[in-house]
């Protein structure tokens, strides 16, 4: 499989996430679109990792292709921490405004 | 057409179709369920690339833990299709057009890129737990320990923010 196929797939998923953030007004859906964008980048990193696994440099160094997958693992760790704090913020926002519409949050005071 | 290509096309169609359905679903619960389908399709891609550890972690962490958290919050707030915010069709059109042009620019730049670079499919030990565990606990011990501090601070932050007073 060509790496371009994986790049095209990851780009499409990322753009769907961008469109979702621009179009939807529900804060939870926007947060889910951010997760989708993170996953598109993860897929691209794993694809590049496997592209480098058949390069000549990978023969000399056994962990040459594994670094990108460790990176993906850390992205997942950070995403899990981010979701717990972000959902707490959304719950607090719902408690204050009784809505998850981001249009109500266009001013910083009052 | 080989079985690998067929599986790739099938999983790609599944991922993109579910992602589109996630955006256009009226009910937030349906959006969460479609996003879980996207995560399973991406895990299928990881299996196809022989990244077994990441495939399992993706299912456990994303589809298992994070999406259950989303579902809990959606059900806690009792969100459904009736409580959806009012739409502004002009802004929606602008968002779709700008996102579509972003995709067009990126894909056209990709089509003009250089020669073919193959990806290793179905074989290779770069994604096995054995290799990844050795790499993680030799070269990346410090980031691993720091991520535990990050988790602790996220836990404390969530409790402080969510406390009722």
For B94-109, what is each residue's pLDDT tens digit? 999 999 999 999 999 9
Selection from A14, A54, A106 nearest residue B123 by Cα: A54
* Average pLDDT along chain B: 89
Each residue of A64-107: pLDDT tens digit?
788 889 999 999 999 999 999 999 999 888 888 888 888 777 77
The whole-number average pLDDT for the span B62-71 is 91
pLDDT band (50, 70, 90) for residue A29: very high
Residue to mutate among B126, B148, B161, with most A CBs inside 10 A, is B126
Q: How far is CA B10 from the centre of its chain?
A: 17
Q: Among partner residues A32, A51, A94, which is closest to B117 by beta-carbon distance?
A: A51
Write the DSSP string, A1-66. Answer: -BHHHHHHHHHHHHHHHHHHHHH--BHHHHHHHHHHHHHHHHHHHHHHHHHHTTSTHHHH-TTTTH
pLDDT band (50, 70, 90) for residue B121: confident
Residues 93-112 of B with CB under 8 A from A: 94-96, 98-100, 102-103, 106-107, 110
Q: Among partner residues A58, A66, A99, which is closest to B132 by beta-carbon distance?
A: A66
- Percent with pLDDT over 70 in chain B: 98
Q: Which fold has domain A3-101?
A: Helix Hairpins (1.10.287)
What is each CA distance from A44 to A3, A25, A51, B63, in whole angstroms?
Answer: 9, 28, 10, 19
Query: Interior CA angle at B45 toward B40 and B49, to 5°?
Result: 145
Does the structure show a pLDDT above 70 at A108?
Answer: no
d(CA B159, CA B152) in angstroms, rounded, equals 11
């Amino acid at each position: 499989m060509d790496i371009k196929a994986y790049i095209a797939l990851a780009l499409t998923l990322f753009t769907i996430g961008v469109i979702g953030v621009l179009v939807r007004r529900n804060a939870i859906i926007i947060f889910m679109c951010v997760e989708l964008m993170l996953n598109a980048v993860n897929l691209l990193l794993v694809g590049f990792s496997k592209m480098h696994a058949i390069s000549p440099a990978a023969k000399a160094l056994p962990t040459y292709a594994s670094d990108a997958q460790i990176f993906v693992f850390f992205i997942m760790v950070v995403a899990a921490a981010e979701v717990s704090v972000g959902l707490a913020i959304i719950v607090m926002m719902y408690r204050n405004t009784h809505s998850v519409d981001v249009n109500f949050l266009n001013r910083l005071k009052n | 057409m080989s079985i690998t290509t067929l599986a790739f096309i099938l999983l790609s169609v599944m991922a993109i179709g579910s992602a589109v359905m996630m955006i256009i679903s009226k009910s937030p619960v349906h959006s969460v369920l479609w996003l879980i389908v996207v995560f399973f399709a991406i895990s299928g891609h990881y299996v196809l690339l022989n990244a077994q550890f990441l495939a399992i972690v993706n299912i456990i962490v994303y589809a298992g833990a994070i999406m259950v958290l989303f579902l809990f919050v959606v059900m806690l707030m009792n969100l459904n299709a009736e409580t959806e915010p009012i739409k502004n069709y002009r802004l929606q059109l602008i968002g779709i057009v700008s996102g579509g042009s972003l995709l067009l620019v990126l894909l056209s730049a990709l089509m003009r890129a250089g020669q073919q670079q193959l990806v290793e499919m179905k074989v290779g030990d770069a994604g096995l737990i054995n290799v990844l565990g050795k790499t993680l606990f030799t070269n990346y011990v410090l980031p691993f320990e720091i991520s535990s501090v990050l988790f602790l601070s996220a836990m404390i932050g969530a409790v402080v923010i969510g406390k009722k007073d």
